[in-house]
A and B are shown apart, each in its own frame.
Chain A
């Protein structure tokens, strides 16, 4: 008997016009590692939420079909009833951590499930060991980096020894090394894993089976080898190593941003940046690389004029626009169109900017009703609409599917070709650039 089965599931969120999932059927067997791919808004997260019972219990809406997990029908069993059998790690670790200390966070689920007290601490230690996080046990969760926090979330999920582990873009906020380590831990597990990811290379290497969702429909459900063939034929952008190549030959103009010996520290701690130099010229796309905490965001904010250096200088000769790495920041207005129009007070231009990022049809939607990837694109439109001469983008491809990523790269190089300059802080090593600068070493290194 299958561990979980989804039978002809069609689900529409409350107040949504169209279903998020349409006629989806599949079965999950014990021990499978299943990668779920697809564009943002395709229904990946909704499928995971259906397997966790959150759809329909937590989100309401219209639910047709049937989902059973370990023999429990999710129409009757609530998510809390499925806890222990199913464990979920969501995209943003900050939104799922309940307790103030790591060991208590890992123990939280065990306590809820009524685990005998004598077993709790040994299982907490075991789970932290499994994610190489034993040294974090007594740390405060508020003091952990994104990568450490996401490992704690995985440990908390593993501690309950679930039969089905659901991972919803768990590496989207991690740098490549941290993401690699996280997925290595997942690979070592002896449980059924369903992994929704936009970083397809590692997910496909890990998976024994691949699902591809688009517009809420399941287009592909195949073992990995056949799935790779299908992707090569139908969705090549999702293949491992698919490049977003630009073929752009920069025509460099004058320097529009010059940073010299910049030092910046948050509070009394070690400086996030210590004596950094940077030049950005018209006509080029410069990428800032580096692990979590290396100062990419700080340098991007200095370049955009949002922060002032504590020492050193930042000279900027043109107007800059800055895209925050948190797409949740672009929800100041009630409609997507108004959100984009905030900077220019011109709805016509705002509509053009929305069309550019593929959100034209969503102009009347509330920004909070957009998926994470869609919000990311909304933010881009909101910044681009003012046509700044220097575009500073902080993690513009986070949670974005490969097609959109390629479109963003094309657009950015188009801007550079028109004589604008772009500075992109990103974990995404596949994002194309005219020049790459690595932070997190003794001094920035051009690569």
Chain B
């Protein structure tokens, strides 16, 4: 039995919120671990860029933030004094906070990954009664992420195919502007296609969808309980 898209989105939102509210490292680690396990259900080729990005960002927070904050008294490493930043040292407390923040970031990003890769956005849009346009906008933006990735590779390939190397920050920066313009053009084409298909016309209806199951209802309740628990006890 599978969760419906609305309860699934509720659970994922609750997990992300719980990760932000929880103060215990272990609790956030468990949430991130569960989300990671769920995300592994997505096809490897689709999940790879998300997971690489998430792990990179998490590591970045873990490594850098102890140097950018000054908290705690249990010094593990004492470094030189750097202009603007001051004295560089790493304390046990800073490491602990960095680990918590890194895990929070990872958990929130994993919740989005699961939403992007495994949730049926169409039914989510359909369920959004009063905010259909906004829900559709979010769903389309999510769906266009892989297109953006493909466009980036395609631009680089077309430039290299002309014998022009695409190397370093400068080489890649040259592609940012056409990439942004390209996604705007794609969005315009999509808007045109939606317009001719009657989007925005008053009096729209919805195709009938399966009703919520017991599992869906239980998941919605569990989502609320998770947020409450994170705020009060975790």
Contact = CB atoms under 8 A, between A and B. Distances in A.
A54 B196 contact: yes
A114 B200 CA distance: 11
Interface stretch (A247-255, A283-291, A320-328): A320-328
Main secondary structure of the interface of B (DSSP, over half): helix
A28 interface: no
Interface string B197-225: 11111011111100000000000000000
A95 B201 contact: no
Contact of A95 (B155, B158, B193, B208): B193
Contact of B208 (A58, A120, A386): A120
A101 B191 CA distance: 18
Nearest to A124: B207
A251 to B, nearest CB: 26
A267 B44 contact: yes
Contacts of A379: 158
B161 A95 contact: no
A114 B201 contact: yes
Contacts of A323: 161
Contacts of B177: 332
B198 A52 contact: no
A84 B195 CA distance: 12
Interface residues of A, number: 70
B45 A267 contact: yes
A53 B196 CA distance: 8
Main secondary structure of the interface of A (DSSP, over half): mixed
B162 interface: yes
A84 B197 CA distance: 8
A112 B199 contact: yes
B199 A100 contact: no
B175 interface: yes
A83 B45 contact: no
Contacts of B159: 332, 342
A87 B197 CA distance: 7
Interface in B148-187: 154-155, 157-164, 174-175, 177-178, 181-182, 185-186
B196 A99 contact: no
A21 to B, nearest CB: 18
Interface string A89-128: 0101011101111001001111111111110110010000
B120 to A, nearest CB: 7
Interface in A138-195: 142, 156, 160
A108 B205 CA distance: 10
A330 interface: yes
B134 interface: no
Interface in B55-102: none
A435 B83 CA distance: 68
Contacts of B204: 111-114
Contact of B198 (A113, A329, A388): A113
Given A54-B195, A83-B198, A142-B146, A117 B205 contact: yes
A269 interface: yes
A124 to B, nearest CB: 8
A386 B125 CA distance: 49
Contact of B162 (A112, A121, A321): A321
A304 B143 contact: no
A242 interface: no
A225 interface: no
Interface residues on B, range: 35 or more
Contact of B205 (A83, A86, A111, A332): A111
Given A100-B120, A114-B203, A332-B174, A321 B163 contact: yes
A343 interface: yes
A382 interface: yes
B201 A117 contact: no
B196 A86 contact: yes
Interface string A5-33: 00000000000000000000000000000
A268 interface: yes
A44 interface: no
A95 B189 contact: yes
Nearest to A334: B177
Given A83-B198, A84-B198, A268 B208 contact: no
Contacts of B189: 90, 92, 95-96
A95 B190 contact: yes
Given A88-B196, A109-B198, A96 B190 contact: yes
A319 interface: yes
B199 A121 contact: no
A330 B164 CA distance: 13
A121 B207 contact: yes
Given A96-B189, A101-B122, A112-B197, A343 B163 contact: yes
B23 to A, nearest CB: 37
Given A322-B162, A329-B154, 10 more contacts: A53-B196, A79-B196, A80-B200, A83-B196, A83-B197, A87-B196, A104-B122, A109-B197, A267-B45, A268-B45
Instruction: Give 7 closest A-B pairs by Cβ, nearest first.
Output: A322-B161, A83-B198, A267-B45, A329-B158, A112-B198, A96-B193, A95-B189
14 contacts: A94-B147, A95-B193, A96-B193, A98-B193, A100-B120, A101-B120, A104-B123, A112-B201, A114-B201, A115-B205, A120-B208, A142-B146, A324-B158, A388-B163
Interface of A: 52-54, 57-58, 78-84, 86-88, 90, 92, 94-96, 98-101, 104, 107-118, 120-121, 124, 142, 156, 160, 266-269, 301, 304, 306, 319, 321-324, 326, 328-332, 342-343, 368, 379, 382-383, 386, 388, 392
